[in-house]
Each structure stands twice: as C-alpha cells, then as structure tokens.
Amino acid sequence: MLAMAMEKFAAVRAYIFDLDGTLIDSKIDIVNSVNAMLVDLGREQLPMDLVASYVGHGAPRLVASALGPETSQDETEKALRIFLGHYEERKLDCTRAYPGAVEGLAALAGAGQPMAVLTNKPTKISEEILKGLDLSKYFRAIYGGDSFETKKPDAAGAQVILGELGVEAAEAAMVGDSDVDIQTARNAGMLAVAVKYGFGKHDATTVTADLYIDSIAELALLKSNLPS
C-alpha cells in the first residue's frame, strides 16, 4: 500500500494545506476564546481537549458545539459574534507554526511546488495569522470557511484552488490533521496526506490517508528523495 501511495505521491506537484492542527498549533488561543465567550454568557468553561475536538468544521459549528443542542439560533449567533471578538484579540497570543512547518514550506516553495491554504476558519483571521507568523508568503491562495458556499469536506473549494494552481487533482495533495481533510482529498480526487500530530478528529482505522507524516519538513524530504 505504501509503494502505491508513493507512486501516486511522485505525480504530486502542488499542495493544499489545512491550517489549524496542520500548519499552526492554535489550540490554546481557540480554546481560551471559546471559554471567554462562555464566561461572557454566564456559562461554565469547558475542558481544553473537549473544545479542541470541536475544531475543524468552522467557527459557527465550533460555537454551536460548545453551547449544546438546546441553544437557540439567536443565542448561537450572538455567541459566535462574541467568540470571534475574543479570538480576533487572542489569535496570536500562543499560536505558533508547528516544528518543521517553516522548513518544509520553504523547501517546497524552493522546489517550485505551488501551495495554497484551505481551512474552515474565517478567511480574514486565517490571513492575519499566516501573515503574523510570516507564512503567507508561501501560498498562492488562502481560502477560509466563508470563501465558498460550502465548507470542507465538500470539494468545491479544493476544485477552485486546483484551477488557480493550474494542476489536475491527481497532481495535488491535501495535507491535514483530521477526517475532514482526508475526506476533502477523497471528494476532490487528490492524494490524502495526514500529519500525525494536530488536534483534529482522525480515526485511521475508518478514514485512512494515503500517507502519514511527522512534519511538513518530512513531506518536503520525501519529495526531494523521489527518483527523478
């Protein structure tokens, strides 16, 4: 299976990256912002790992999950505004690029591999975080959960990006930390690459990626070591 995956990987010449849990460790800032929102609403704070488990489907679903199913739509919309206000202020307090991310992106860019970001996080905040961490320079495009009518794992956003990068689906890989990202790759016909770290939900026994990597630097190393 690995040999087949590496054969497919040899054809890859462009990459679409997830953001949270893949390129950046944003867990603390997201959880702190959710809990600040809950305090403002007079609710109890939630455990870090529980809040982190809600990440991956976009801010509206994150907030709805934190509030619970009994919450009205009006309350949820109010809470979302509060959360986004807190997160705007806290988004770079503790958030950092994962080890190997900068080195890997630089190596892929140096090899002429076009890259983009597709996240379910709001676009503006995503762009600000990537700029603040000096990572935005590596990407041809940065798209968020509010960029298209549908979010990941729907393939629509990935298909737009593939067109912008000028590659076919078989020539691209989706790199992420969750089942959402792997399913996005499957839906778009791309190679699915999963990082072994991160905080997204991923059950390798039910949703299997083509390749598993320890860091983005490893991804670049694998690419550079392929036979020419």
Catalytic residues: 18
Helix (H) or strand (E) holding 77: helix 73-90
Residue 7's CB is within 10 A of a number of other CB atoms, namely 10
Identify whether 69 is preceded by a cis peptide bond (ω within 30 of 0). no
Q: Is the dihedral of CA 219, 119, 199, 28 positive or negative?
A: positive
Sheet with 115-118, strands from edge to edge, namely 141-143, 115-118, 14-17, 172-176, 191-195, 211-213
